[in-house]
Amino acid sequence: MHCRKQTVVLCFITGCGLKQNSENIGLDRIKGKGETMSHIYDLIIIGSGPAGLAAAVYAQRAKLDTLVVEKAMVSGGQVLTTYEVDNYPGLPGIGGYDLGLKFREHADQLGAAFAEDDVVRIEDQGKIKRVVCEHETYESRALILATGAVHRKLGIPGEEELAGMGVSYCATCDGAFFRNKVTAVIGGGDVAVEDAIFLARMCSKVYLIHRRNELRAAKSLQETLLGLENVEVIWDTVADCINGDGMVRSLSVTNVKTGAKTDLDVQGVFIAVGISPESKAFEGIVDMDHGYIRAGEDGVTSVPGIFAAGDVRTKPLRQIITAAADGANAVTSVERYLIEN
């Protein structure tokens, strides 16, 4: 099969089994659509991925008056689109959707309040922080920004259809599923080269596909990569189509200089062309580094009372477990801030 378009039908059940009553989403403290809230929360968490939901759990246990603002109907963030998670302690092989539901259910059981809204901007008014959304404006004494980041996509046929079925954006997460198999990594930066080196430890062969004739990765990484016998770099080449029927079977590529087309027999395709943090609503408020919010393990940003957790902050490793840890650490910092202010 070459570049055959596949049709995927997704069925959604309203509420996804989660309670949507006034106690669950905090309607007793939220005014009607279009009105501004007068209630001031202790903490507002923006985002409901692993970092945001972990923060919600810790905030509830700390008895903080908290609201979680999420833009999607279903909580969980990127984990929802992960076919299988095999590196979260105690839950080997759990489906990403199921793990996301467990995170949300835990927060629900503790009485966390949720509001579905899209954040337009935040405002720092000193002791009070304002969260301006499409439908409401919320106020709190502290904020945790946990909006995450999204992997950039190639936009080629087969990418969406085979996501989680051999197409991955995280070698650290999914590499173990391809032991003794043939894989391809697409990209030329540090992450792509690191992914290829990582996969070479377990895969029988790894192709690194790069559209130029030289890599952008650090020289030390390049030296390590080029010294691996089971890695082949295919230069001046772009991916055209990911082929398969339920699972990845091959990758169609084209040499941009000669026009020659080739099909590579692979079982996995790892796309490493960059990550974009979801931080536009916070521009001009907190210090950033290429869109990532500058914050350490404690979640402290450049603005007192505003904290960052998960993939949206500057950090070397972006995983479900590190995002959850960020949420816990950020709430600890929030508690300290509220006591001192």
H helix intervals, the chain: 22-25, 50-61, 96-109, 171-174, 190-200, 219-226, 320-340
Residue type, 31: K
Tell me if 112 sits within 8 A of 66, measured CB to CB: yes
For the record, the structure tokens of 16 come out as: 């996804």
Distance between CA atoms of residues 103 and 99, nearest Å:
6
Backbone angles phi and psi of 40, in degrees to 5 = -110, 115
CA 318 to chain CA centroid, Å, is 8
List the Cα angle 197/314/108 in 5-degree steps. 105
DSSP 271: E
Tell me if 169 sits within 8 A of 150, measured CB to CB: no
Distance between CA atoms of residues 184 and 263, nearest Å:
12
Torsion sign (Cα): 104, 109, 113, 115: positive
What are the CA-CA distances from residue 125 to residues 118, 121, 184, 244 (Å)? Answer: 20, 13, 49, 53
DSSP 21: S
What are the residue numbers of the active site? 170, 173-174
Tell me if 158 sits within 8 A of 242, measured CB to CB: yes
Distance between CA atoms of residues 21 and 40, nearest Å:
21
Residue type, 108: D
The terminus-to-terminus CA distance of the chain in angstroms comes to: 63
